[in-house]
């Protein structure tokens, strides 16, 4: 790809938005914007919380780099609007985005395909009793994880280590989502594996091992702490990285993802079995983010990664040439 000139036309970097991850999205978006501009792309910031989406068409944008995280950006809604306007965009399409934002729907697809994901119990905000909440540890064991079904960045996540914490953990998750996921806790190594591309052309980037202070890879330690350690190369036992990359690729493909994504995986310390936790279809691009880190380890700079993702921007239903004006 030529680094001079601008084959992309006028590009909108979608950032901010209305989700609970707005602040992180702004950080990601400004990083992407600077990277694209440094390579001569005619890129502009566009915040869907501040301008209606149809302004993209009115202002003549030719494609969009989606740096939105969470709801109204990573869940198929923005993707659907861009499909209607015929403006190609980065990342997963409408269906893949809407499934992947929902941790339980994602698990259902993976389980149907025979892929390993921790056991879970789903609670609905308006439909569970205290007795049902107290029964969850008996089914999943302790400790366990409680989190909102459609939130990212570890928002609303609690690691429950005794029965007395259950109600508070469920209440915290229910404040962010009508559906609450209670999940079996896997003790062991926490790793993540980014994937770029589509279908048979998709490839897994190096696996990153995450070592967070006190084992708590929470919102603070994800974005604002320098104490969290990221190991690339991951230095896992021989053969494990390749096995996790193969698992991540399969998990990405069965959801029909394209462009890029990042699979979060726990490796059981006792059995060394990898377990799929979730997939992010619009991963962070901040100074602490993991996809740029893995790309760097694979010899791909932040700027080149942004250019590659932009070059891969597409539509689920591409318009015939000449209909996009």
Q: Is there a catalytic annotation at residue 264?
A: yes
Catalytic residue among 17, 21, 98, 221: 21
* Residue 25 near residue 15 (C-beta atoms within 8 A): yes
Contact 186, 197 (CB under 8 A): no
Q: Respond yes or no: is residue 201 known to be catalytic.
A: no
Active-site residue, 31 included: no
Task: Report the distance separating Cα 240 and Cα 243, nearest Å.
Answer: 5
Backbone angles phi, psi at 300, to 5 degrees: -115, 115
Active-site annotation holds for 19: no
Known active-site residue 198? no
Residues whose CB is less than 8 angstroms from the CB of residue 134 and which lie 6 or more positions away in sequence, other chains included: 163, 166, 167
50 is catalytic: no
Give strand pairing partners of 193: 263
Which one of 278, 282, 302, 303 is the catalytic residue? 278
SS3 of 46, please?
strand
Q: Which of 89, 217, 219, 223 is catalytic?
A: 223
Q: Looking at beta carbons, which pairs linking 294-300 to residues 24 or more positions away fall under 8 Å?
A: 294/192, 294/193, 294/194, 294/205, 294/206, 294/207, 294/208, 294/232, 295/194, 295/196, 295/205, 296/232, 297/205, 297/206, 297/232, 297/233, 298/205, 298/206
Is 74 one of the catalytic residues?
no
Could you confirm whether 139 is annotated as catalytic? Answer: no
Catalytic residue among 177, 258, 284, 303: 284
Bridge partners (DSSP) listed for residue 204 = 195
Q: How many angstroms separate the CA atoms of 242 and 201, rounded?
A: 17
Pick the catalytic residue from 96, 221, 280, 282.
280
Q: Which of 152, 264, 289, 303 is catalytic?
A: 264
Q: One of 19, 98, 153, 289 is an active-site residue; which one?
A: 153
What does the alpha-carbon distance between residue 251 and residue 254 come to, in Å, rounded to a whole number?
5
Closest CA to 30 of 78, 70, 71, 65: 65
Would you put residue 167 in left (φ > 0), alpha (ψ -120 to 50) or beta? alpha
Whether 9 contacts 43, CB under 8 Å: no
Q: Which residues are catalytic?
A: 21, 153, 223, 262, 264, 278, 280, 284
């Amino acid at each position: 790809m030529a680094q001079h000139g601008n084959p992309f036309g006028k590009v909108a970097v979608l950032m901010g938005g209305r989700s609970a991850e707005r602040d992180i999205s702004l950080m990601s978006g400004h990083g992407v914007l600077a990277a694209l501009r440094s390579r001569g792309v005619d890129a502009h910031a566009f915040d869907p919380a501040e301008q209606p989406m149809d302004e993209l068409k009115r202002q003549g944008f030719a494609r969009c780099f989606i740096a939105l995280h969470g709801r109204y950006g990573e869940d198929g809604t923005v993707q659907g609007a861009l499909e209607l306007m015929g403006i190609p965009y980065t990342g997963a399409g409408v269906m893949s985005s809407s499934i992947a934002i929902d941790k339980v729907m994602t698990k259902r697809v993976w389980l149907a395909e025979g892929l390993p994901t921790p056991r879970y119990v789903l609670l609905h905000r308006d439909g569970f009793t205290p007795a049902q909440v107290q029964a969850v540890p008996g089914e999943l064991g302790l400790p366990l994880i409680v989190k909102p079904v459609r939130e990212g960045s570890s928002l609303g996540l609690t690691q429950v280590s005794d029965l007395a914490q259950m109600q508070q953990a469920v209440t915290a998750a229910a404040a962010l989502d009508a559906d609450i996921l209670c999940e079996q806790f896997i003790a062991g190594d926490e790793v993540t594996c980014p994937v770029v591309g589509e279908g048979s052309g998709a490839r897994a980037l190096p696996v990153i091992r995450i070592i967070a202070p006190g084992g708590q890879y929470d919102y603070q330690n994800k974005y604002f702490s320098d104490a969290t350690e990221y190991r690339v190369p991951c230095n896992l036992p021989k053969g494990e990285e390749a096995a996790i990359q193969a698992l991540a690729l399969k998990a990405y493909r069965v959801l029909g993802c394209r462009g890029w994504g990042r699979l979060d995986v726990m490796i059981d310390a006792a059995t060394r079995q990898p377990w799929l936790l979730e997939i992010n279809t619009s991963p962070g691009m901040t100074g602490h983010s993991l996809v740029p880190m893995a790309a760097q380890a694979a010899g791909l700079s932040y700027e080149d990664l942004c250019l590659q993702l932009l070059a891969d921007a597409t539509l689920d239903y591409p318009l015939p040439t000449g209909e996009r004006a």
